[in-house]
Structure 1
Amino acid sequence: MLTYQGKSVFGGIAIGKIRVYRKNAQTVKRVRVEDPQREMERFLAAKETAAAQLKSLYDKACREVGEDNAAIFEIHQMMLDDADYLESIENIIKNQSLGAEYAVAATGENFAQMFASMDDAYMQARAADVKDISERLLRILSGREEEQDGGGEPMILAAEDLAPSETVQLDKSKVLAFVTVKGSANSHTAILARTMNIPAIIGADLPLTDESDGKTAVVDGFSGKIYVDPEPELLKEMQARLAQEKEKKRLLQTLKGKENVTLDGKRIQVYANIGNSRDLALVLSNDAGGIGLFRSEFLYLERDTFPTEEEQFVIYKQVAETMAGKKVIIRTLDIGADKQADYFGLAHEENPAMGLRAIRLCLTRPEIFKTQLRALFRAAAFGNLSVMYPMITSVAEMRKIQAVVQQVTEELTADGVPFMVPEQGIMIETPAAVMISDLLAKEAAFFSIGTNDLSQYTMAIDRQNPSLDDFFEPHSEAVLRMIQMTVENGHKEGIWVGICGELGADLDLTQTFLKMGVDELSVSPGRVLPLRQVIRQTDTRKL
């Protein structure tokens, strides 16, 4: 038995086989070959396999998300047959006598740079497509094309780290636990683990090698330990603890249908945070009262091109209809900082967390913003949908947003398209927003406090930097005072105030928030019932 140590970011026990996640990007060496014709045959065989994979993905996507959302795989199939792309690969193999892997990698890089340098946004987006196709061919040529699927068996996912764009593409039903070598307690992997209610460990010294891949392991999310090839006695002990955890979850299910009311009769709304429509089942199964944060940027991170108005409308409408009158709060696009999509063509920034992100990006790219608002306003006619704007720092920004909203409503009216202007709120994520929350409360129907960024900006700590974890104070008095100020200023103007950041799920703070008068807590779906339990056991008169 081998034991490895990391830092727990979400508790729980998981038992299963390790699957080492390897990044798509591969290092390819420039190797001369004796038989160029054989290399061409290898490439053509890989191309056929890639075409079959893309056809299968297209058919699967059509069944699950519709033809519009499946179109990207059709584009990839067409680009795979692009004459210029194929001729470049053939030229490198035959005329330079270089291996198929190098030919594909070099061509992919050259074409990606070519597309990225074009002025047309559509052509720029093809850069990501050609990279995707080339990486697929490289995986096939190297014999690794099936490596990431885990063979259909639930797995303990081990990785160096996972970017937001990678986490959204995972088959989450097959992940038992996350173990990463890098990452921070506030990384998107950690947030995803809390959403899925599964154990997660960061900073682990587990070697990401073929020797680890496929080994049976136990992840103890409470202690931060990973046991590879566990001894029978330890395995038996952990199986017993896992059974206890399942029993606790079963008992929590008895809280379904119960109200979120304290012993002294104070009611608080408990909503769920999600990243896409596929999380709706988790929201409903955990009996959330609504959706307090729909992270719309994940619609963009899942793709290689900008989602159209119609594609967004279909998804927002589905969410609104599925929630059947329960509140659905959709955050407008929050791309930037640690959430990057190549096709946006964002310039490199020395400090992206304080750069062109969220509402700043939307106001400087009004065509993107208006497309999303049109889709949201159309979907609002089909349910109890609200919109909130992230990273607001001034009243002037809200006035600019309302000018765009006016344009959108006029255009929709002129087009004769049914729509409804939804309730509009502000995310409080910066000290600036807190300090002028009395003024911002006059511009909004509600506040939702994003404690992840608010903590980061208040303490001047990059929440993605693991070396600063020891300096990060999750219960910072400064942050708690800012929350209190925001609640008081919101209530003075008669608007409700909620929390949608990770602190909302911190059960050690639930009574503090109840005492402050917070109206709503929005948490990962798996934290809804534990939160409800604490609320129902609290008497605020005794706080």
Structure 2
Amino acid sequence: MLNTLRKIVQEVNAAKDLKAALGIIVQRVKEAMGSQVCSVYLLDPETNRYVLMATEGLNKRAIGKVSMSPNEGLVGLVGSREEPLNLEHASEHPRYRYFAETGEERYASFLGAPIIHHRRVMGVLVVQQKERRQFDEGEEAFLVTMSAQLAGVIAHAEATGSIRGLGRQGKGIQEARFVGIAGAPGAAIGTAVVVLPPADLDVVPDRPAEDVEAELKRYQTALAAVREELQTLSAKLANQLRPDERALFDVYLMMLDDAALSKDVVQLIKGGQWAQGALSQVIRAHVDRFEQMGDPYLSERASDVRDLGRRLLAHLQQERQQTLVYHDNTILVSEELTPAMLGEVPEGKLVGLVSVQGSGNSHVAILARAMGIPTVVGAVDLPYAKVDGIEMIVDGYHGEVFTNPGAVLRKQYGEVVEEERQLTQGLESLRSLPCVTLDGQRMPLWVNTGLFADVARAQQRGAEGVGLYRTEVPFMSNERFPSEKEQAAIYREQLAAFHPQPVTMRTLDIGGDKSLSYFPIKEQNPFLGWRGIRVTLDHPEIFLVQVRAMLKASEGLENLRILLPMISGVLELEESLHLIHRAWSEVRDEGVNVPMPPLGVMIEIPAAVYQIRELASQVDFISVGSNDLTQYLLAVDRNNPRVADLYDFLHPAVLQALRQVVDGTHAEGKSVSICGEMAGNPLAAVLLLAMGFDSLSMNATNLPKVKWLLRQITASKARELLDEVMRIDNPHVINSTLNLALRNLGLGRVINPAAAVQA
């Protein structure tokens, strides 16, 4: 049955449209199960009726005509109950309904299984037989497995139809929505420009080389062309990214010069293979090796190698990547966006990004946040190859993409985009003003940084310090551990840029979805594995070098704060503090006269919440990492599109944990800040203010919105709202309550520009 299932799915995947896919399903399932009838009914969202869309065994003229509501017929029963129905004698069931127009005889036995995709019932798959018998367990299991496997395929085929503006019956429809992961905040309306692979490495045929020397020359010419192309792209992004961020292009160039890669290609050509075939074999072998390592960071490297291979193949085929027409409002769409693709768009034309693959921490997402481009990644259901040239909306707040938007949706998001533009314009008046509530409570607003582009953006928006500097970014853009001197130069640049304001530097936080190519971490469950402080405590040589570099960088500036990530208990904290004091002594022995900077603990693990007073008593400040704390409290991988809707920092458990952290920290007389996406959400910021957080740290893009809202509300009103929502047990109701309350105060439009659209 497994082989049968696999073959059916492969055949359905290759179908040109939904009609063809459904035809294959009913034919193959009927054959596989030896039944006399197999039919597919799909739920039409407009009429809320199950419509017969394909059949083998019933009258085909009934397709598209026979339909039933969820509360009639056996099909409606299967759909509404969302479970299979296996009947020996269907006509005896009270919900049985006979449709004469199907030309069906009164088939006795009935087996139906719901087709469900992402909790949405899409339809029902049915098999019927004349003989009166109950389908056995194996047959029922096969049909249930078949419907589960086909749900995604049918959803994809439906989406392709939606993209083309056609419904199931070929009628025009207004719009389609696809859910992914929020990669970078903001909203954009524009025209999709699809970047397809310039050449397909997987379909290059083997062919003997007629002239080995000529093939070798063609390969060297392609290498030189791609090298020049990458250098040009790197130069185009020079004014937006600092040298170590542009190092990714250097990594590409190093890959081109990689002895193993080129040597293997040359060897195959000399062995008689033509250049294209040799390149295809070598690139695919390298990609397979990277992907099999199972490490998220190395998977990113696999996509880089694949991108390089495609570029080389395109030159070998004497064709450039397809000639793209970049519109004034270009939304770049690809199966797998790469940083190089961003550089190809003329400056000022790129308004949004959509990637079918990738996570919120991919290189592209990091660059998009630094450049302020609304981005959605992980949009796995989007038939990206079909969207070129159509109008599209990117909602980087909620991780949603809309194709063929109707007039209402276009108008709503147009207002969001205009509102964002006005907020940015009004920045000058806000920049120099403090963040103070109407009743005089001060709330310092800090920024999270990591890329050099973040510095200018933060200063333009009036940041009062850095609540989180991600030191792993320079490590990730390197091919080896940066030396103490190299680190000190990078840290000094950051400290000097914000002086005399405080800069909170988090010690190296790798593991989870952040890995280093030269220090791979391969684990089955990386988020619960070797990451953060666990790595650096196991490698004190890395930790000591980094802390010494931070201390030396702060000489004469004295605005450094050191933050320890992923602390789960007092023992880890004591070990870390011991190493920091040791590094401080070593630096002072070298004649660098720096005071001991304030030290802090990052609260990201539930265990730390319950030990907050013990931890706070040993450090100078506490900082909550809301992204990971939410992820661990709710057991939800925030980079997984399947469970993305469960990740919600307004969940009552998260709010209760945050309140406990604030109360425990203040009980020890220490300050507490929060960094992460929650702090940059204006709605949540009102609650954080009410809880008593001493500062909020966020992405610079969100800072003006948070400042504007907090300056329009009283702290006492914020505390009233907090008391109200703490009695609510549903995150969606909490969100609605806050939205309504702030709208009633006349503040609704700036809470989250896209929130009103969602409502």
TM-score range, shorter chain: 0.7 to 0.9
Distance 1:206 1:326, change over 3 A: same
d(CA) in 2 for partners of 1:131, 1:418:
46
- Within 5 A, what are the aligned runs for 1:367-386? 367-383=541-557, 384-386=559-561
Q: Does 1:90 align with 2:262?
A: no
d(CA) in 2 for partners of 1:134, 1:189:
16
Cα offset, 1:20, TM superposition: 3.1
Is the Cα contact below 8 Å between 2:675 and 2:697 reproduced in 1? yes
What's the CA shift string for 1:33-64, capped at 9, x where partnerless? Answer: 34242321211111222443566678889999
Cα offset, 1:458, TM superposition: 1.0
Cα offset, 1:475, TM superposition: 0.9
- Within 5 A, what are the aligned runs for 1:392-431? 392-417=567-592, 419-431=594-606
Is the Cα contact below 8 Å between 1:379 and 1:419 reproduced in 2? no
Is the Cα contact below 8 Å between 2:247 and 2:477 reproduced in 1? no
Structure 2: gaps spanning 5 or more residues: 1-163, 166-174, 291-296, 721-759
Aligned residue number for residue 356 of structure 1:
530
d(CA) in 1 for partners of 2:562, 2:524:
30
**Letter in structure 2 aligned against 1:308:** S
Aligned residue number for residue 486 of structure 1:
661
The structure with more helix, counted as a fraction of residues:
1
Is the Cα contact below 8 Å between 2:371 and 2:453 reproduced in 1? no
Is the Cα contact below 8 Å between 2:189 and 2:329 reproduced in 1? no
Aligned residue number for residue 314 of structure 2:
142
Aligned residue number for residue 293 of structure 1:
468
What's the CA shift string for 1:1-24, capped at 9, x where partnerless? Answer: 744412384452332452437699
Distance 1:25 1:292, change over 3 A: farther
- For this pair of structures, how many residues does the alignment match? 527
Aligned residue number for residue 120 of structure 1:
none
Decide which of 520, 536, 539 is 1:365's aligned counterpart.
539
Cα offset, 1:440, TM superposition: 0.6
**Letter in structure 1 aligned against 2:433:** K
Is the Cα contact below 8 Å between 2:201 and 2:313 reproduced in 1? no
What secondary structure sits across from 1:13 in the alignment? Answer: strand
What's the CA shift string for 1:328-361, capped at 9, x where partnerless? Answer: 1121111111112221122x21110011111111
Distance 1:127 1:417, change over 3 A: farther
Is the Cα contact below 8 Å between 1:380 and 1:421 reproduced in 2? no
Q: Which has the bigger relative contact order, CA under 8 A and spacing at least 6?
A: 1
Q: Does 1:302 align with 2:477?
A: yes
What's the CA shift string for 1:97-116, capped at 9, x where partnerless? Answer: 2232443455568899999x
Identity across matched positions, percent? 31
Q: Does 1:277 align with 2:433?
A: no
Q: Does 1:256 align with 2:428?
A: no
Cα offset, 1:484, TM superposition: 0.9
Q: From the CA coordinates, give the structure whose radius of gyration is larger.
A: 2
Structure 1: gaps spanning 5 or more residues: 116-124
Is the Cα contact below 8 Å between 2:600 and 2:620 reproduced in 1? yes
Q: Does 1:390 align with 2:565?
A: yes
d(CA) in 2 for partners of 1:350, 1:266:
47
**Letter in structure 2 aligned against 1:378:** K
Cα offset, 1:237, TM superposition: 8.6
What secondary structure sits across from 1:387 in the alignment? Answer: strand
What secondary structure sits across from 2:623 in the alignment? Answer: strand
d(CA) in 2 for partners of 1:481, 1:263:
26
d(CA) in 2 for partners of 1:109, 1:318:
41
Aligned residue number for residue 446 of structure 1:
621
Q: Does 1:498 align with 2:673?
A: yes
Distance 1:419 1:317, change over 3 A: same
d(CA) in 1 for partners of 2:532, 2:360:
22
d(CA) in 1 for partners of 2:323, 2:666:
50
d(CA) in 1 for partners of 2:200, 2:510:
22
Decide which of 515, 520, 530 is 1:340's aligned counterpart.
515
**Letter in structure 2 aligned against 1:6:** F
d(CA) in 1 for partners of 2:298, 2:421:
46
Distance 1:132 1:25, change over 3 A: farther
Cα offset, 1:394, TM superposition: 1.2
Is the Cα contact below 8 Å between 1:54 and 1:73 reproduced in 2? yes
What's the CA shift string for 1:386-443, capped at 9, x where partnerless? Answer: 1111100111111211222233234333444565542211100011111111011122
Q: How high is the TM-score relative to the length of structure 1?
A: 0.82
